[in-house]
Amino acid sequence: MVKTSDRQRVIVVDFGAQYGQLIARRVRDLNVYSEIVPYDVDIATLRADLPAAIILSGGPASVYAKDAPRLNPELLELGVPVLGFCYGMQAMAQVLGGRVAHTDVAEYGPAELTCAPKPSALLAQTPSTQTVWMSHRDSVDELPDGFIHTASTPTTPIASMEDAARGLYATQFHPEVHHTVYGDQMLRNFLFKVARLEPNWKMSSVIDEISAAVRAQVGSDRVILGLSGGVDSSVVAALLAHAIGKQLTCVFVDTGLMRKGEPEQVEAVFSRQFDVDFVQIRAEEQYLAALSRIKEPERKRQIIGSTFWKIFFREAQRLEQDGKPVRWLAQGTIYPDVIESGAYRSGAVAAADGSKATGSRQAATIKSHHNLIPFPKGVHFDLIEPLRNLFKDEVRALGSALGLPDHIVYRQPFPGPGLAIRIIGDVTAEKLAILKDADAIVREEIDAYNERLFEETGVRDSERSVWQYFAVLPDIRSVGVMGDERTYAHPIILRAVESRDAMTADWARLPHELLARISSRVVAEVSGVNRVAYDITSKPPATVEWE
């Protein structure tokens, strides 16, 4: 993992998961490095690597709930400025001897904030009345000793408070959400005026910093990376190419299950643009043989995962035949993977047998295209995860800064098991060929549509209206008529969804003319297809993929 102690960092103490990520994002957007720690973070560890400031997140609990996450008062005594939001404010008030009023009435939504006459460093350069965002039940109704009240709303008399001498600040409202109009200014005030941080966390310094950390970590050892063609592993490859050049071998297993043209794009970028050892293994036949007659989606996933590792580890052994061992396995783990897996709580990775790993040599579950697959017995690598501290759009920014082309950096999400889970029922070479051709037309048409939208709106990627789009080949046939002949052929299902994070999604309201063009092109250009249907189901209750 990248060491952070030689850089200024702000820690977000997480009292309720979802909020933490948003706060860390806001801080990073202001060019200050920020990371999330659990509310019961070990204080000795923090003391040994002192953050420059601390933010206490909100959270859904009441401080009076029996199992509420407790604020460790020592966090307020580290001598670094602390800012609490919502639950973070209540917890701060409670441990310092103030009082939290417990109500059953929730306040949710915008509220008009009026600042107290005495100037507050946190509220500096914001209007004396302004709109903030509230989402709470309890609130502080008696200040702890040493605090002054700095703003109020009609329903919450103590909407913010501070003890400037001790560097403690808190707001009942949420400065991290955009609806708090001057929330960004408040964060700036806290980071740059109160905590006196420098806004120097930028992509160019991130590249230098991670590269130096990687070089220090691996020395002159050899590193291997499973390149999938996805954003994360591609950015790791580009980054390691920059950091250690030919010490890296990228192994790209062409499963035959990628979208049309993508293996060629991966090869073009990594065999020509970057100075690494690039090994491409064509394994379509092996995958087709392994998947033969397999219909069950989870079985397909398992087979695809284990086939990958079989090929990958065989290649690693082959590389070692020149007498130089491969010690490190690089992976594209990113920050949300770390947070969502709970690994940030202990810094540990689960071992294959389910026990907690004690050293990185034992770390044994790996992210294979988001799917966690245990190492085969007897196989050991030390893991190197250079993107472990970065959010997805930071990974994209890093990729662009390293010179990766847009078609990789802005690639839409694609499942690790690839087209195998977009062919319902068993996978054959014929079905794969049909699906690839139909899918290429879908992509071409919707890409062009997205491009037009981009020209009109100037907004790209996660803000794009069509987020993920592809073709599915179901295991049915239907009757049609072409020329004078009746046909009995496959339909193609078109899936196009709008989403922000894949947790929920809605079907895209594509213009009828676009749907019409896709349908007529697919039926005319792909033999074996005589019908196109559009999936108009949201997630939930459906999923994005069909399998």
* By CB under 6 A, residue 415 contacts ligand XMP: yes
Instruction: State which of residues 135, 211, 371, 538 lies at the interface with ligand XMP (CB under 6 A).
Output: 371
According to the binding rule CB under 6 A, does residue 545 interact with ligand XMP? yes
Q: Which residue has the tokens 């078109």?
A: 494
Question: Judged by CB under 6 A, which of 26, 259, 301, 396 binds ligand XMP?
Answer: 301
**Contact between 464 and ligand XMP per CB under 6 A:** no
**Strand 371-374 versus strand 382-384 pairing type:** unpaired
CB 212 within 8 A of CB 239: no
**Residues 218-247 contacting ligand XMP, CB under 6 A:** none
- Cβ-based burial of 250 (10 A; exposed 0-12, middle 13-18, buried ≥19): buried
* Cis omega (within 30 of 0) for bond into 541: yes
Contact flag: residue 297 with ligand XMP (CB under 6 A): no
Question: Please, which residues bridge with residue 480 across strands?
Answer: 487
Asked if 392 is part of the footprint of ligand XMP (rule: CB under 6 A), the reply reads: no
468 lies in the site for ligand XMP, by CB under 6 A = yes
Q: Could you tell me how many residues of this chain bind ligand XMP (CB under 6 A)? A: 14
**Cα–Cα distance for residue pair 415/412, rounded to 1 Å:** 10
Tell which positions 305-334 bind ligand XMP, by CB under 6 A.
none
DSSP code of residue 143 = P
Asked if residue 236 lies in contact with residue 342, where contact means CB atoms within 8 angstroms, the answer is no
Residue among 124 and 424 whose Cβ is closer to ligand XMP:
424
Site string for ligand XMP, 101-130 (x = CB under 6 A): ------------------------------
Positions of E strands within 389-505: 468-472, 478-482, 485-498
The rounded distance, in Å, linking the Cα atoms of 520 and 278 is 40
Give one DSSP letter per residue of 36-98, joined into a string. EEETT--HHHHHHT--SEEEE---SS-TTSTTPPPPPGGGGGSSS-EEEETHHHHHHHHHTT-
Select 301 or 531, whichever has its Cβ closest to ligand XMP.
301
Q: Which residue has 């970065």 as its token pair?
A: 390
Q: Provide the minimum distance between the beta carbon of 395 and ligand XMP in the complex, in angstroms, as a whole number.
A: 15
> E-strand spans in 57-167?
82-85, 99-101, 107-115, 129-136, 139-142, 148-152, 160-163
Both tokens of 93, joined, read 């008030």
Residue 453 near ligand XMP by CB under 6 A: no
> Of 176-184, 193-201, 448-456, 537-545, which part binds ligand XMP (CB under 6 A)?
537-545
Q: Please work out, in degrees rounded to the nearest 5, the angle formed at the alpha carbon of residue 343 by the alpha carbons of 339 and 344.
A: 65
Taking the complex as a whole, the smallest distance from the CB of residue 472 to ligand XMP amounts, in Å, to 11
- Pattern 168-207, ligand XMP, x by CB under 6 A: ----------------------------------------
Compute the Cα dihedral for 487, 440, 305, 290 and give only its sign: positive
Q: Is 502 in the site for ligand XMP (CB under 6 A)?
A: yes
Report the residue number, 13 or 231, with the smaller CB distance to ligand XMP: 231
Q: Which of 20, 263, 332, 417 binds ligand XMP (CB under 6 A)?
A: 417
For ligand XMP, the closer of residues 116 and 343 by Cβ is 343
Stretch that binds ligand XMP, among 41-49, 243-251, 259-267, 365-373 (CB under 6 A): 365-373
Q: Which two tokens stand for residue 267?
A: 């090869």
Q: Toward ligand XMP, which CB reaches closer, 301 or 436?
A: 301
Phi then psi for 165, rounded to 5 degrees? Answer: -60, -40
Say how far residue 168 (Cα) sits from the centre of its chain. 31
Q: Which residues are catalytic?
A: 86, 174, 176
Nearer of residues 141 and 545 to ligand XMP, judged by Cβ: 545
| Residues contributing to the site for ligand XMP (CB under 6 A) | 301, 369-371, 413, 415-417, 468, 502, 539, 543-545
